[in-house]
Amino acid sequence: MPDPEQEKKPSVPGGSNPAQELTQEEIDQLLAASQAAANSVGGNGPIFDCRGNRFDRTNPPRVEPYDFSNPTVLEEHLLRILRQRHGEFADLLAARLSLYLRLDVTLELQSVSTQVYRRFAASVRNPSHVVLFKLEPLNGVGVLEIAPTLGLAFVDRMLGGKGESDPDATALTEIEMNLLDDVLLVFLEEWARIWGSETPLTPSLLGRESGGRYLQTSASDTIMLVAVFDGTAGSSTERIQVAIPFPSIEHLVRGMSALLPAPEDEKPEHSTEWRPIYNNIPIPLSVEWDACELTVKEILDLKPGQVIRLPRQIISDTRVRLGDVSRFTGEIGVDGDHLAVRIDKTTSQEDV
C-alpha cells in the first residue's frame, strides 16, 4: 500500500520527479526571484494594470506609494483649501495672541493631513500637555496638544514675566493649566472660525491629559483631520497640533469647494442669444469731437454771436456715441438735406 505520508509531500510542477520536495535553498531562490520581479518597476520585470494589460516598456507607468494603514479621504483641491485656511488662521492667531499677551508670538503652519486615530495618538508626545475639546454643536471630541515648555512661556507672560520657561519642564501645575486654558480657548475660538459654518461653532474644554498613551477619544480606525504648527513665544519654539474627527466636519469641508471659483475651462459662457423684445429698446445716439482748447479767460469772454474756429481735420474724426459709450468713429458730411456721418471703424474700449 502507498505510504500516506509520501502522498502529502509537495511536488514541483514540470519536474522530473513529481514527488520531489523543495529544499530550503530552492524556496529561497524562488522567493528571491519573485521579489526581484516585484522590485523591477524600471527594470526587466513585466508590469500589468488593474485589467491585466501589460504596460509598454517604452512608456512605463508612474508608480506612487500608498499607505493603506493611513488612507487619504480628501481630494487635493480640498487639501489646498484647508492649507490656505489654516495658513491664514496661523497669521490671525499670532496677531491676536501677540496683542493678548503683549509678547511677540509667531505661528507657522507645517502640515494639514488626515490620519487614522491610532497613528495620531502615537504621534502625541509623552509627556505633553493635551486638552480635549468639543465644538458645539458638532459631534466628536477634538484633541489639542501643546508642549509644556511653550505653554509655560505663555503662563509666565500672563503672570507678568518675560515669556520664559524651563526647557526641561515636563508638566504643569493645576494653577498653570487653568491659566493656559485661557490661551487655548483663544486658539480654539479662532480655529472654529475657519470652517465657515452658518451656525457659530462654540469651543469648550472637556479635560486634560499628560500625553497620548491613554488617549481614547475616538475609535482606533477613525479618520482624523490633523493640523500641525510651529509656535514661538519668547525663547521657546515648539510644536502645536490640533485634531478633530473628520466625520464631524466633513460636511463643512465639502461645502468649502462650492466657494471656489470655477476653472477657466469650466466657466459658463455668456449667452449671446438675441431676443425679439430687444428690438424696440430706444438708445440715444450722439456725435462729438475733440475740438480745441480755450483758456479760462477766453471761456468767460464768450458771448452769443461769437465764432469759435475749429480745426478742419475734426470732420474726419467724428465720434459716435450710443448712450454713454463711444462706439464708432467716422467722417461727418452732408447727404441731401441732412447731415450724415459715415462710419469708418469701431472704437475699442482702449481708444475711449
Q: What is the CATH number of the domain that holds 317?
A: 2.30.330.10
Question: Which distant-in-sequence residues (6+ apart) come within 8 Å of 232 by Cβ?
Answer: 105, 106, 107
Nearest-angstrom CA–CA distance, 106 and 237: 9
| Together in a domain, 138 and 224 | yes
Nearest-angstrom CA–CA distance, 202 and 344: 67
Residue 332 lies in a domain: yes
Residue 3 lies in a domain: no
- Which pLDDT band holds residue 20 (cuts at 50, 70, 90)? low
CATH at residue 99: 3.40.1550.10
pLDDT value at residue 109? 95
pLDDT value at residue 283? 82
**Average pLDDT for 43-51:** 65
| Together in a domain, 104 and 231 | yes
Residue 186 lies in a domain: yes
| Together in a domain, 96 and 150 | yes
Nearest-angstrom CA–CA distance, 165 and 148: 9
Nearest-angstrom CA–CA distance, 207 and 258: 35
| Together in a domain, 95 and 189 | yes
User: Which position has the higher pLDDT, 235 or 73?
Assistant: 235
CB atoms within 10 A of CB 203: 19
| Together in a domain, 215 and 346 | no
| Together in a domain, 104 and 246 | yes
Res. 343: pLDDT tops 80: yes
| Together in a domain, 300 and 192 | no
Res. 284: pLDDT tops 80: yes
pLDDT value at residue 292? 78
pLDDT value at residue 32? 77
Residue 317 lies in a domain: yes
Residue 264 lies in a domain: no
Closest of 70, 230, 209 to residue 143, by C-alpha:
209
pLDDT value at residue 352? 47
> Which set of grid coordinates corresponds to residue 225?
483631520
Domain of residue 132: give its range.
76-259
Residue 18 lies in a domain: no
Q: pLDDT tens digits, residue range 139-179?
A: 999 999 999 999 999 999 999 998 888 888 888 999 999 99
Q: At what angle do helices 174-193 and 148-158 cross, to 10 degrees?
A: 100
Residue 49 lies in a domain: no
| Together in a domain, 97 and 147 | yes
| Torsion of the alpha carbons at 68, 71, 77 and 80, rounded to the nearest 10 | -110
Its pTM stands at 0.56
| Together in a domain, 166 and 226 | yes
Question: Within 13 Å, how many C-alpha atoms sit on residue 252's CB side?
Answer: 23
| Together in a domain, 304 and 192 | no
| Together in a domain, 177 and 311 | no
pLDDT value at residue 11? 46
Q: pLDDT tens digits, residue range 86-141?
A: 999 999 999 999 999 999 999 999 999 999 999 999 999 988 999 999 999 999 99
| Together in a domain, 234 and 286 | no
> Which set of grid coordinates corresponds to residue 114?
488626515
The strand order across the sheet containing 285-288 reads 285-288, 318-322, 325-335, 338-346
